[in-house]
Structure 1
């Protein structure tokens, strides 16, 4: 399977400029699966400390419109997250989109920061403590949305369910803790871990800079591919059958 990760600019204008380049890359590389960053279609609004209904609604609409454009990528599977409302709750919902089945909700972000630049607990309700693998075009996929990745026991839980791939859409700075968390998720689960991030200055707060760096990490925690400001998209071939072997080896077999 050929998979693509990316780093995309923050904000609607930057995203729009980068989108056509991503479409071209994915089509040229003939990617089977693409992972987008966390809620990529609008500027990172969670830096605003007070909930604003008009900002929320604009983000919901922008991501609904993005869903209608995912087919432009030409990939069989597209993974990402978007803001949704369900039963009176506001959720950051991770999803899989396929050419055959369309939209499939998979997971809602569980762990919500509440500090400068990331007042997510004021904008969202936590998703249920349910980290269940989804079958997407025959691939066993789990999600750790950004801060969810800081809890390796969830990645291990995915591994025990037979996850072949764990997607980590992010909106983070450049701290190495994110790479450590992603590599550890692969090691404890025996799955491939893919992560995509926002990059560059935050559109609503130029004092903050997103860290970029998308990764493809193999089941042993080795980085197979990484994006950069020079190369914001990375595509690599992965062997999903390798995850079955990895789950039988150290440290995955430990109880």
Structure 2
């Protein structure tokens, strides 16, 4: 790559001017872009949240990147943020083989492995359960399911529903993850349905809220009551004001 061009690209990168990097590189015919230039393009695409395009760019120089730990890291970054956690784990593990001890890579690998585990748990749960009733649409996005062992669960894949509840206490460390939802549900249960407090149990993960019991009637009542509470903004915010960070 032309040293002057590389210097300019790095300057734009330092100033977060990623679109200028992308536009400049894309003006160069693809056949004339060398390995370094393509990697610069992929990095800028990552920083603009254009992960699928970044993946395609990095994959176009896969042969040259086979011994480059940074190539694997940047590709893993694109996979992680496009929620392709299995692919992210594979390439990040290779990056660490080439560059052992890289803390940034290890951190991203840990995140990817955690997300992959959560995805597998949700898929396994779906494989092992069936819907209790056809009218459970009224509980959406919660899902009420029954298990082969006779127990019943209420689950929620967190991250989109009622985020404003948790944003109100974000400075305290609340993120809206499964543990935060369990803290909120515990307050609801204690204050609004104390008779079920010893019957309903929680088993959350970072990406999933889960409540379970062997008493199907108790779970049906809890699920309906908790969903109604979530739809009452004043009530749910009041309950959450007493939730404790796990």
Name the TM tier (shorter chain). Answer: under 0.3
Instruction: Answer with 1 or 2: which has the greater Rg.
Output: 2
TM-score (structure 2 length as normaliser): 0.25
With CA pairs under 8 Å and 6+ residues apart, which has the higher RCO, 1 or 2?
Answer: 1
Task: Indicate the structure with greater helix content.
Answer: 2
TM-score (structure 1 length as normaliser): 0.24
Task: Indicate the structure with greater strand content.
Answer: 1
